[in-house]
Structure 1
Amino acid sequence: MDAQPPTASAETAARVPHPAIRRHVPLYRGYRYSAGGAVWRREPPAGAVTVIVNLGGRFTAGWLGSPGPAFEVAPASSFIAGMHDRAAYTLDSGEQFGVEFEPTPLGAYALFGLPLRELSGEIVALEEVLGPGARGLVERMAAAPGWAERFDLLDAALLGRAREPAAVHPMVARAWEVLAASRGRATVAELSRETGYSRRHLSARFHEQLGLAPKAAARVLRFRAALGLVLSGRALAEAAAESGYHDQAHLTRDWRDLAGCTPAELRGEMLAGFAAPAAAPR
């Protein structure tokens, strides 16, 4: 991978949301970069819902392996990507400015008040979920003088929803908690025993409310656990054993299915950060 262009620059910021929000949204992340050329970035499955508040230039987003972009993001607009088990990508001109946050699946259901199956594998405009007021929020954030003020505006927009959250079914909430705590290693049978519901009923309700069936969600969580280990420098065989894969070959097959590339390729791209040069989606 090419070295960072000499004209590139980046600015980042982060803040933990208001206490009433943070059980739904762990962190806000702000970013602004100028890469000196077009940037194509792979976005592997996250095990969460992704919200991008775009405060800068136009870019496109889509799914690897699909013809054409799924969504074109205009300046001062935003989108939500639901839970998914395939890699997405973004392509921009090299100039970006915005805020990203990832509600947990339970948090996204609570804040947005709709079955996440409606967002699963989709990229939709923020206004479709939060209503027409979302555009005014984005415009105010773009005009704000600094990151603290932008994060304050997000807090204000989400507080009302956090104080009157939609109610996730207790069975689904418990199943997700067990699955997340096991980093995807709990089986559907174990989740069924833990919740006291049949596998069929649990899977159907879980899929409806959180966007992926338990087995697919477990696969994504195992992948994310392995990704964290690989990014920290662990050998693939060690990462596979610690993350619940049968062996290194099993990890590599899952990696290609979920990320569309090898572990070495994804690690290189993610460590390169925003300065990754434009590349053709695979």
Structure 2
Amino acid sequence: MDLPDAADVYVPQDYRERPSGIPGAVVWTRDITADSTAPVLPDGCMDLLWINDRLMVAGPDTRAHHPSAGGNPQVSGIRFFPGTAPALLAIPAHEFRNARVDMAAVWSPALHRHAIDLLTAACTPTAGLEAVARWRSTGADPVAPAMIRIVAELRAGTRVADLADTLGLGTRRLHRMSLDAFGYGPKTLARILRMQQALALARSGTPLAVTAAQAGYSDQSHLSREIKELAGVPLTHLLQR
């Protein structure tokens, strides 16, 4: 099953991305400076990062993340479609929720050393990250079609209880599966996907009242409350960028 690209709807001005040769992934770079104030918003995805000569994993977020590059102003990453990174990296998503972790603490020394060798041999950091992902995909279990369907159904506004019935799962089992694949339960994932949909509509010029209705919020006030809770800033602040 083909995967949509894991593109982030909210794109800061100092951010650049392109589709990856890895199905369902995009590679990106961002220049972090003292003036970089745009947050990284929750999107249901996980990323591998190359920053300050360290390979890191960015777990799934439930709140806005404010990056700091330290000694190196440029960060490179590969972002995976929701639910696909855990199988590729052999790590359950919930263990890295709201965290950035050095892969040296996750993989064995031999695995980590090989990944660093691939990165340092590549012509660019993004090419190196793709090489690491391609290496890890060899022999990895394919992404379960149910994971892709869960994302599609929640994006379409399907209720969690209805989704569990459609998939032939109980709500508890669906919740456990979602923790491993997405890092949080399906209700949280649904909120995050709905926020990203609303931001895409609003940034395209759709009036906020219409955006709220089309994205499944009860009204514009509900939209504003949800965005501020997940993004940490008012919706109007995000639309100014």
* Letter in structure 2 aligned against 1:116: A
Shift of residue 95, structure 1, vs aligned partner: 5.9
Point out the more displaced range, 158-167 or 88-97.
Answer: 88-97
- Note the aligned Cα RMSD (angstroms): 2.9
* Aligned counterpart in structure 2 of residue 156 of structure 1, from 131, 140, 144: 131
| Alignment correspondent of 1:28 | 27
CA contact (8 A) 2:118 2:132 kept: no
Q: Per-residue CA shift, 1:19-39, capped at 9, x if unaligned? A: xx314xx211134x485x443
Is 1:16 paired with 2:20? yes
Are the structure 2 counterparts of residues 155 and 100 from structure 1 closer, same or farther at C-alpha, using a change threshold of 3 Å? closer
Is 1:120 paired with 2:97? yes
* Aligned counterpart in structure 1 of residue 204 of structure 2, from 226, 229, 232: 232
CA contact (8 A) 1:175 1:194 kept: no
| Alignment correspondent of 1:109 | 86
Is 1:218 paired with 2:202? no
| Alignment correspondent of 1:261 | 233
| Separation of aligned partners in 1, 2:130 and 2:147 | 28
| Alignment correspondent of 1:100 | 77
Q: Per-residue CA shift, 1:58-92, capped at 9, x if unaligned? A: xxxxxxxxxxxxxxxxx212322211221111135
| Separation of aligned partners in 1, 2:152 and 2:227 | 19
| Alignment correspondent of 2:177 | 205
| Separation of aligned partners in 2, 1:83 and 1:11 | 19
* Bigger relative contact order, structure 1 or 2 (CA pairs below 8 A, ≥6 apart): 1
TM-score, normalization by structure 2: 0.80
Q: Between the two proteins, what is the percent identity of the paired residues?
A: 26
| SS of equivalent residue, structure 1 residue 90 | coil
Is 1:53 paired with 2:28? no
* Letter in structure 2 aligned against 1:155: E
Are the structure 2 counterparts of residues 252 and 16 from structure 1 closer, same or farther at C-alpha, using a change threshold of 3 Å? same
Bigger radius of gyration:
1
| SS of equivalent residue, structure 1 residue 106 | coil
Are the structure 2 counterparts of residues 200 and 240 from structure 1 closer, same or farther at C-alpha, using a change threshold of 3 Å? same
Is 1:88 paired with 2:69? no
Aligned residues: 228
TM-score, normalization by structure 1: 0.70
Shift of residue 249, structure 1, vs aligned partner: 0.8
* Aligned counterpart in structure 2 of residue 39 of structure 1, from 17, 30, 36: 36
| SS of equivalent residue, structure 1 residue 179 | helix
| Separation of aligned partners in 2, 1:119 and 1:86 | 13
Matches within 5 A, 1:237-252: 237-252=209-224
| Alignment correspondent of 2:9 | none
| SS of equivalent residue, structure 1 residue 27 | strand
CA contact (8 A) 1:81 1:122 kept: yes
Shift of residue 41, structure 1, vs aligned partner: 3.2
Is 1:187 paired with 2:191? no
CA contact (8 A) 2:47 2:79 kept: yes
Are the structure 2 counterparts of residues 157 and 204 from structure 1 closer, same or farther at C-alpha, using a change threshold of 3 Å? closer
CA contact (8 A) 2:32 2:69 kept: no
* Letter in structure 2 aligned against 1:248: Q
Q: Which runs of 5+ in 1 are unaligned?
A: 1-8, 55-74, 272-282
